[in-house]
Chains A and B, each alone.
Chain A
Amino acid sequence: MQQPTILVVDDEGDFLETLMNRLKKRKIEALGCASGEEALRLVKENPFDVVVLDIKMPGGMDGIQTLREIKKTRPETEVILLTGHASLETSMEGMQAGAYDYLLKPIRLEDLLEKLAQALERKGGAEHRAQSEEIRKLLQKT
């Protein structure tokens, strides 16, 4: 099995689980985790192309902190933030801290896929471009 290149971080179990199922069904290899600390550990172990990161995670490291740490460890990682309106200002902060973009919750899967495709494309390289193409095809199907 290919090493997943996408990491999704969200403390809301139902949300994370369902999102993972849906990605998996679309044959997108992704890994999920429920806290900033765990995400950071995973990133340190293996590089990920894209990290989808919820900003608001009560208890422990919050999204922005996690983002800063990831960027410190692996600066090439693209991070897409998930945010509610109350933390919109924080997302701006996140953008300044190097996040690729942000999505307003509740997200539609299509929007997330579009962003993922864009992020992968930006990374460049044949492998990433192929991945991006795959995702774009999925989007066209629906």
Chain B
Amino acid sequence: MATVRFSGVNKSYGSTSVVSDLDLELPDGSFTVLVGPSGCGKSTSLRMLAGLEPVTSGTITIGDHDVTQLPPRDRDVAMVFQNYALYPHLSVRENIAFPLRASKTPRTDALRRADEVAESLGLEKLLARKPKELSGGQQQRVAIGRAIIRQPSVFLFDEPLSNLDAKLRVETRTELLQIQRRLGITSVYVTHDQEEAMTLSDRMVVMREGRTAQEGSPQDVYAHPVDTFVASFVGSPKMNLLDGEVCDGIFTLPSGFQLAIGSFDGGGAVTIGVRPDDLVPTASDGAGDARVTLIELLGPRAIVTIDARGTALTSVVETSRLAGITEGAPVTLSTRPGAVHAFDPDTGQRRAGPDNDGNRSKR
């Protein structure tokens, strides 16, 4: 158990910079998720922490130890790879016990502890099997078992759920979180799936092009995205981002479409962001500017795609409020009070938004 610190970490291959000036502090026992599109440097950062990639400059510390130059075996970390990397020639029991061989634990002790770990993961019936005789979910559990048997300082997860089917992914996600909470071991988890990041993390680091775009609690990142990249990356369906002008609480698109956005600081050219949940369509009898083009039912809620004078907008509506909203029907649009984010149209940086603290609302 330890605090992990990246200080001014850079990674480049030749002249190509993959990670730039990464400064992160991951508190002891926290579950941090690095999330971002592919090529954003999240996996490289994790591999540098594991010791599998050398650092170009900067330092990485685990607890009080500067591990920047240490080989992986001396860092006291455990890792779960995307493909699980189970040793094909070893049985489930031997796979789980394998890290203990490195620490010269007597074989009988190692196997006994492997049995205990396997039991805690519900693998006790599979101990004698080889990895290729297991399902994807079972392989995943074995990989987790092998990671937890040694009680390392840090857990590293490199997209461990992406090879599982959707249902299993959600189940394993819950289980992973329970294990981490039980053991209280500092964990770093890499994924490109923002939903996974939101549900798992207590700290979320959104990365883009080798840099940290934003870090904070998932609630904070969701509620206060620092720029249009984070705003559109986090949240599903994506936030509606619209370029236009604001005047007296009315937002006008270049097409002339108007949307009431309520009280709003400042005016002029702006990019506004409205989460689909905050965009409310109401059935309209007149020939309005907006028309429903598609309704996707999700059960209790539905994703409604709306065409507003050529601009596609997404709204999420509770199924019970779909009365009068049908494909092809005209609608009027409104936003929930105080739910509109504002970004600089040139830089994409956050200008103002809901629940913003005063010093960041104006620039």
Are A and B bound to each other? no
- Give the B-binding residues of A (Cβ under 8 A): none
